[in-house]
Amino acid sequence: MRTTTSRPADAPRTSTVVAALLRKELRVELRSFEAVPAMSLFSVTTFVLFHFALQRNALSGELASGVLWVTLLFAAVLGINRLFVADAEQGGFDGFLLSPAGRSALLYSKALTLLAYLIVLELVAVPGFALLLLQPALWPALPGLLAVLALGDLGIVVIGTLVGALAVRTSVRDLLGPMVSLPLLVPVLLCAARASSPVLASARAGALPLRWLLTLALYDLVFGLITFAVFDFLLED
């Protein structure tokens, strides 16, 4: 059955549209530096603040995990808030809606863009965290931590893309983004912090708690499906 968000048979291929949108995102970010530098700077500044506020040079285990994930989450919210702003302010959103391209292409491109933001953020934040606060050496913990980061990023990406699309068409998007995304991200925070806690305590990758990783993966899957199902309708008037 056709819906208002269907696309005609001669519409461009989704992969072509996603590639074009990703090129646009990359160019806009490289020329404006609006999202990633702010996210990275925020994370490093927060680690410095924790360093002084806790008056400790070294964290490990649950505390280290909590500090890392809370910081990453708040930095990610900055990126989520910026994700659709250029499109909304400069009319690209309407331009996309006027085209016959499938609406899901925007979802894929935004999700991949947010994932790229998070990867760059973590390339800065995780070494910064290790340098400023982490007690065990980072290298032995890295394989396990990367697994948790990957699943955590996936959760942030699906929720962030959904909330970004929801908030961007409102006049209070700067407020609505964090207000909606943070509660939805609490399970991601909980699972990711619990999963990475033993890794950061013992610095052994084998200590990953599978239960929390599976819970996180399930949450990612559920929200991925929800986002995929409702994204088209969020774009409509």
Partner 1 sequence: MAAATVQTCATPPHRPRSSRQRRPAARAGAAHPSAGRATLAALELRGLTRRYGERLALADVSVSVEDGQTLAVLGPNGAGKTTLLRLLATLLRPHAGEVSVLGHRLPEDGWAVRGRIGLLGHDPLLYRELSARENLQLYAALHGVAGDRVELLLRSVAMERRAQEPLRTLSRGMVQRVAVCRALLHDPELLLLDEPRANLDPAASELVEPLIGRESGRTRVIVSHDPVGAVAEADLVLGLVRGRVRVLATAAELDPESLVELYR
* Contacts with partner 1, residue ranges (CB under 8 A): 2-12, 16-17, 19-21, 23-24, 27-28, 31-32, 86, 90-92, 94-101, 236-237
Residue 193, classified by CB atoms within 10 Å of its CB into exposed (0-12), middle (13-18) or buried (19+), is: buried
Distance of closest approach, residue 152 Cβ to partner 1, in angstroms: 30
Return the number of the residue (11 or 138) whose C-beta is nearest partner 1.
11
Nearer to partner 1, 169 or 204 (CB): 169
CB of 46 to partner 1, least distance (A): 28
Q: Give the containing element (helix H, strand E) for 160.
A: helix 138-168
- In the complex, the smallest distance separating the C-beta of residue 108 from partner 1, rounded to whole angstroms, is 14
At closest approach, how far in Å is the CB of 223 from partner 1? 27
Given a contact cutoff of 8 angstroms between Cβ atoms, the answer to whether 129 and 142 are in contact is: no
| One-letter identity of residue 78 | L
Task: Please tell me the number of Cα atoms within 13 Å of 119 on its side-chain side.
Answer: 9
Q: Which residues pair with 134 in a beta bridge?
A: 59
Using the minimum distance from each CB to partner 1, give the nearer residue, 106 or 199.
106
Q: Between residues 108 and 129, which has the closer beta carbon with respect to partner 1? A: 108
Q: Which is nearer to partner 1, 14 or 60 (CB)?
A: 14
* Smallest separation, CB 1 to partner 1 (Å): 10
Quickly list DSSP for 77-100: HHHHHHTTHHHHHHSHHHHHHTS-
Nearest Cα to Cα of residue 177 among 73, 31, 43? 73
Residues in Cβ contact with 30 at an 8 Å cutoff, skipping those fewer than 6 apart:
none
